[in-house]
Structure 1
Amino acid sequence: MELLDLSFFTSAIRMISPILLAALGGALCARVGIFNVGLEGLILAGAFSAIVGNYFSGNVLVAVLVGALGSVLVSLLFGLAAIRFKANPIVAGIAINFLVLGLTTFGLRAIFNVKGAFYDKNMEGLPKLDIPVIEGIPVVGNLLSGHSPLVYIAFLAAIVLYIFFYRTVTGFRVLAVGKNEAAARSLGLKVTLLQYGAIVACGILCGLAGAQLSLGQVTMFTEGMTAGRGFIALVAMMLGQSHPIGIVGSSLLFGLMDALSIRLQGFSMPTQFTAMLPYIITIIAMFFLKDRGADSQLSGQQSSR
């Protein structure tokens, strides 16, 4: 088995999509002046809700919608704390992460009567889409075709978000809110409505990320299965400066490292070491962000208040 063969890059594309979707959701919140560190909890809520929806409906589309809805409900709770009650968004986000971790653990026992993980052999995961014409092209077909719909939606969402930010009136208003909330209010913009809209959209994207984890990459749910991907998505968002194209690039980096950590396990390397790779890259990225990304996000949040 080679380290960097075609199957490695195919796997990397699957690994990228949850990080990319969540990072785009985080960018929406950042653009309205809210630094959302609750992405981890939102993804986990989406993953668990998708499994619940699939188990009771037997329909994958319904499962994805339920996953998105579950994440939206949690994101609205975050929005209520951060916007309505003026709580510190960082503290509220951390609280959301712990809340969802506990709720999903309780849900496993209350709904499925299991501990640690739930798997049903009769439950179907997301289908694989074969793209006409492209699937017949050597190398390219194997790389780009045969992924779940949510993988393609992740990259499409980046394009749509770019158009929204820089080609639409509402997008310009969202950017204005993030730049200076007080000035945006003085111009008559509905700041609160735009902020809630961004938080709901973030919930939808994180719900899709969770559904990809629990129904796209595997067809099961385990406690804490996000394994820090929400925090990696947060760093990817900061590294990409909340710009959709930049976020795609940074998500590619983290997705490749995630795939590499799994591939190295096939070379008899200790699992404890290989599992560290995505987080080592995250720490390294934080050093580059210490003077740019983090400060710009926090200063934008402070100027908006």
Structure 2
Amino acid sequence: MPIPLLVAIELSPDHRSFIKGAGFEVYAAPTVSERAEIIRSRGDEIRAVLTNGTTGFGAHEIASLPNLEIICALGAGYENVGVAAARARGIIVTHGPGANAASVADHAMALLMSIARDVVQSDAAVRRGDWVRARHMRPMISGKKLGILGLGNIGEQIAKRGFGGFGMPIAYHSRKPRDGSPWLHLPTPTALAEWSDYFVVATPGGAATRRLVGTAVLDALGPEGFLINIARGSVVDTAALIEALRDGRIAGAALDVIDGEPEVPSELIALRNVIITPHLAGLSPEAVQATVQLVLNNLQAHFRGRPVLTPVIG
């Protein structure tokens, strides 16, 4: 008999079919209203939930599913999942660290290169017929200092790309130094920003990192420094970033995530020294297939009585 699975996020028809073919009854509910309706009509049946860190699955929703056994977060993040509420009921929570790390690291470097070399704005200028005015000097990437806030799977891959591809000195900040890491560990985000030419945010979201990058960090990065965020929008104080960009206190920013997305402040959109992509760093076919496969592996392990592969720990 198929196992009822509530899918709380957008998932392609092919991937829904892929999961369904593995023995699950998929209830797709990517909007708040659809989710509420499924919980109301099928709440007693649901045994598993698929979500992600941004959408989450809160304590009140968990309480509405009396037979829930497992919550799987697609991708590494799980900041809006009610982990404490789940654990109180013995519900397993899994996530997908590393499954999309290569794709996100690729996108981080693409953003870094695009904002440094003014690729997006120059392309737009040429299309307007402004060839001559589009030609202006832009900073190099090779040999410049790359600071990484959060040296997890994604941060490590960004470091390797920067060092191996562009000869960039690498430094990072995390709560504690990583054993055996060849990169320079700095004690605070502000110290890292002061050291950096390019400052990449790759730390998890959640309460512990909310607005970790604010005025002090941006001022330390300085008028020749660039900010790149492929982590969570909540890590950066958007109002402080807008002020720093508008006043020229940093050179530019390239963002794949925005606090409050998909809404983007009009003040940010109006700025020329910023590039914004719609949270698509992990949306390569290879990465999405790997993350969905990992979810399925975790679900199958649980319902076959085996330990899950990637539980949320701590």
TM-score range, shorter chain: under 0.3
Q: TM-score, structure 2 length as denominator?
A: 0.25
Q: TM-score, structure 1 length as denominator?
A: 0.25
**Structure with the largest fraction of strand:** 2
**Structure with the largest fraction of helix:** 1
In our comparison, the structure showing a higher alpha carbon Rg is 2
